[in-house]
Chains A and B, each alone.
Chain A
Amino acid sequence: MTSTIEPAAGAAAVPGAPAAAARPAAAASARRGGWKRPARVILSVIVIFAGWAIASTQFPSYILPSPLDVWDQFLSAVGRGVWVEEILATVQHLLAAFGLVIVIGLPLGILIGRSKIAEDLARVPMIFLQTVPTIVLIALALVIMGVSDTAVIGVTVAGSISYFLINVIQGTRSIDPDLTEMSRAYQASEGSIMRSVVLPSVVPYLLAGARITLGVAWQITLFSEYLMGTAGVGFQVNTSIKLLDTAAVFMWGLSIVALTLLVEYGIFRPVERLLTRHVKGRS
């Protein structure tokens, strides 16, 4: 079986699946380490903030704002309602694009993974999507759709879907043919094989792909907002830096970091744990 479709990005995308399986072991060793390991993590955060605070005394605020300046910016943005408004605008772009990627990418990836015809037809479009610069996608979207939420969402889908597809295609190819044959021997319909064998086999790859896709989609959404000037955090960064309001740029950057961590620990990890219960091993 050839895997000509996977480019370098695919090689980076695929190890996500084994890593997902290995994570519970890491959690167990963290528990064995007791309080020491979390303490080291907290210590690193304290050191970073302290270093930042000290360094900021040596520079004007428009070059390196202090942590307090950034905190003030945050309180002010929340107070004016701007923070919630802009974060919501960006999250809406992101979720719409991410939802479309999954709705389009899951069936398409399974089809490409299972059919040689679909694989051949998809080869060039996929190489195109992987290699075309995001900046060109943005320029084209501006011409075709104008400054709009649709344009931001469109660019994000086009720029991130290949990462998701590559993982779903890999997952589909990882299906154990013995299980498919067993299902056929027990008179399973194609629909039943899809539900009981294909989709569960793809789940770990789907999770790895979703995680990578979301990371890429954040970048492209913010980038598009910055350049197109629609509502959203990207555009706020653009206007803030034009006004040399560096503290605001820091504030938006840290807000996105916090949101990404929230999604990782609040959504991805619990969903992953739920969907991969069976790989716990002997207990």
Chain B
Amino acid sequence: MTITETMVGFRGVGKTYPKQALPVLEGIDLELREGEVVALIGPSGCGKSTLLNILAGLTDVSTGTVDLARSDLRSAYVFQNPRLLPWRTVLKNVEFALEQIGVPAEDRRRRAVAALETVHLSEHLDKYPNQLSGGMQQRAALARGIAIEPTLLLLDEPLGALDALTRSYLQEELLRIIAELKTTTLLVTHDIDEAILLADRVVVLSSRPARIREIFEVPFGPTRSLDTIIGDPRFGALRHEIRELLRPEVAA
């Protein structure tokens, strides 16, 4: 994999919410290269989601700048909860994202169906969200994101609310989908194994205010799978190192 262009550059980014003394982010310097998957891992409430919100345009930085390589950056956001519109069918929920970027009506259905095929939901197009399991709802939310063909995929603990079994299968699916799309991806997670499995680099953040503690390159190639890396001694070593780095942060 050749990684070339910088997609997004955080330069000394800090964020303090109004009426709060403690900043959530402080001095964040991070570059996202085109096509790479970066995982952010850190204790709860440390401001990981704030970084995604900044990229999605939902909030502003307080200090520092965010450089974007291209002006037509289009981000798709997948949240921890599916956030599907309960009064729309699965298909119409995916079309919702396409409506917002002005895709003509005749193309919407085709693109939404294609995205739902990618996440294996083709048989549930006309179901309403409350007729689907939590895992299926989250697949639909992912389809809504990839349907707009984003240049930046923001995943905020996308599997965090699912049971362990569903989660492990969806991790494999997510790995496949991200590899197929080759979209630059920023993944927030609490799960060290998930970070190592899915990401090219793992960024470890401190407790609030979040600063970057360390950035790890994941040594496994693009053809990795849970089964192949789990027996690799480098997996155990990396996992141990990240765990020990996070221990004081989580205890604090």
Contacts and interface: CB of A to CB of B under 8 A. Distances in A.
Interface of A: 178-179, 181-189, 192, 196-197, 200, 203, 277-283
Given A179-B85, A278-B130, A186 B79 contact: no
Interface residues of B, number: 25
Nearest to B81: A178
Interface stretch (B96-104, B185-193, B243-251): B96-104
B131 A282 contact: yes
A181 B56 CA distance: 10
Contacts of A179: 83, 85
Given A184-B56, A185-B154, 17 more contacts: A178-B81, A181-B58, A182-B77, A183-B96, A186-B96, A186-B97, A186-B100, A186-B101, A187-B100, A188-B100, A278-B128, A279-B86, A279-B130, A280-B128, A280-B131, A281-B130, A282-B131
The 5 nearest A-B residue pairs measured at CB: A185-B77, A182-B83, A278-B128, A200-B87, A185-B56
23 contacts: A178-B83, A179-B85, A184-B56, A185-B56, A185-B57, A185-B58, A185-B75, A186-B100, A186-B144, A186-B148, A187-B100, A192-B100, A200-B85, A278-B86, A278-B87, A278-B128, A278-B129, A278-B130, A279-B130, A280-B131, A281-B130, A281-B131, A282-B130
Interface of B: 56-58, 75-77, 79, 81, 83, 85-88, 96-97, 99-101, 128-131, 144, 148, 154
B171 to A, nearest CB: 23
Contacts, number: 59
Contacts of A283: 131
Contacts of B128: 277-278, 280
